[in-house]
């Protein structure tokens, strides 16, 4: 089916089948508008602007028969835009029998050790198989609803390929208290988080602080250190301490370090961006450590092969401490490094 009436208020619904292309023609009023804004208005409330941007990234939007690469592309009058509509997304996540490593659970909250590779909540490209799906299956209707239907109980998150301790709220009361603690980042003493990162090189000082604002990188997907005055700049502070040094005192092989990082703020990819910013990116980081991957060539076998085969960032949330929202007792949870990261660290210890 094709549609050419720019005034059509909503082109999504019973009249449009899944995976069928809709074609829209831009009128004079469209000239100069961003493509994603214009499309979101034309496609109706069921398709949000962020969903339109995802469709563009997936190559589902074309102009003149050629896929569009940038959502911010400016429209011109008379252009014909083709959109291949996706299958409908589920209204809310469904429970799935995914194993959970539960460290603690009561009526108010649940603490888990998240494995690497598990996405926290559903989103574009990951509508199933997430931690939220597992929690819905395990907890049933007891999860807090404050986070919304796609993020029930979630007060903080870890990147997909980062492992470690997470707490999830089971009541709205717990959700509110824990969210306030995470928003405060432990400044009042009610929260402590620590990560272990295996990084390239050895920092000059045994301890240090990275105080550098973060914003969107040029690709609009990753994060980067940006000037504080930029509109999207967000204050970010990471404290680090060198736990172990590998290869120190020799020049034949590349050096590395096991570093503990503690967050004063909690920005997206904060540790990964900050460690790369000071010249010590997390080993295996596909987004912020690519420029350092050749350092593996200066390692002995079998460590060289192990590093090249390690397909995720070597980052683990080993400690989480917080005040229980109802008992007000301080609760501390630790999780050992997962086997793949422990084996990698063990290889570096042999340098």
Task: Give the C-alpha separation, 71 to 58, whole Å.
Answer: 11
Task: Give the C-alpha separation, 58 to 217, whole Å.
Answer: 19
In the numeric block, which tokens belong to residue 25? Answer: 């023609």
Q: Cβ distance 111 to 102 under 8 Å?
A: yes
- Tell me which H or E stretch contains 249: none
Task: Give the C-alpha separation, 169 to 66, whole Å.
Answer: 46
Q: Is 126 helix (H, G, I), strand (E, B) or coil?
A: strand
Catalytic residue among 159, 190, 285, 287: 159
User: What are the CA-CA distances from residue 208 to residues 13, 203, 260 (Å)?
Assistant: 55, 9, 11
Which residue, chain included where needed, has tokens 């590349």?
254
Q: 238 forms bridges with which residues in the sheet? A: 210, 263
Told to judge if 36 belongs to the known catalytic residues of this protein, a careful annotator would answer no
Active site members: 159
């Amino acid at each position: 089916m094709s549609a050419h009436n720019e005034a059509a208020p909503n082109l999504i619904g019973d009249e449009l089948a899944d995976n069928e292309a809709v074609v829209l023609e831009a009128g004079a009023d469209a000239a100069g508008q961003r493509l994603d804004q214009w499309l979101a208005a034309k496609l109706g409330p069921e398709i949000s602007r962020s969903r339109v941007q995802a469709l563009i990234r997936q190559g589902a939007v074309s102009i003149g028969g050629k896929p569009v690469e940038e959502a911010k592309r400016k429209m011109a009058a008379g252009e014909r835009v083709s959109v291949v509509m996706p299958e409908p997304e589920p209204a809310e996540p469904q429970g799935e029998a995914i194993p959970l490593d539960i460290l603690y659970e009561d009526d108010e909250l649940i603490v888990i050790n998240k494995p690497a590779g598990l996405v926290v909540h559903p989103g574009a490209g990951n509508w199933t198989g997430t931690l939220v799906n597992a929690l819905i299956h395990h907890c049933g209707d007891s999860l807090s609803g404050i986070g919304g239907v796609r993020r029930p109980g979630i007060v903080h998150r870890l990147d997909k390929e980062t492992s470690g301790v997470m707490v999830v709220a089971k009541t709205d009361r717990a959700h509110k208290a824990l969210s306030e603690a995470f928003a405060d980042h432990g400044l009042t003493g009610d929260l402590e988080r620590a990560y272990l990162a295996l990084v390239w090189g050895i920092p000059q000082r045994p301890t240090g602080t990275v105080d550098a604002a973060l914003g969107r990188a040029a690709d609009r997907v990753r994060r980067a250190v940006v000037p504080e005055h930029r509109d999207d700049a967000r204050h970010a502070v990471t404290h680090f301490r060198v736990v172990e040094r590998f290869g120190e005192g020799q020049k034949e092989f590349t050096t590395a370090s096991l570093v503990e990082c503690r967050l004063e703020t909690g920005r997206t990819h904060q540790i990964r961006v900050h460690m790369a910013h000071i010249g010590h990116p997390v080993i295996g980081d596909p987004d912020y450590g690519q420029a350092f991957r050749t350092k593996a060539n200066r390692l002995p076998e079998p460590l060289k092969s192990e590093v090249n085969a390690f397909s995720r960032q070597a980052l683990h949330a080993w400690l989480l401490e917080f005040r229980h929202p109802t008992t007000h007792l301080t609760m501390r949870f630790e999780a050992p490094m997962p086997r793949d990261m422990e084996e990698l660290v063990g290889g570096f210890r042999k340098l």
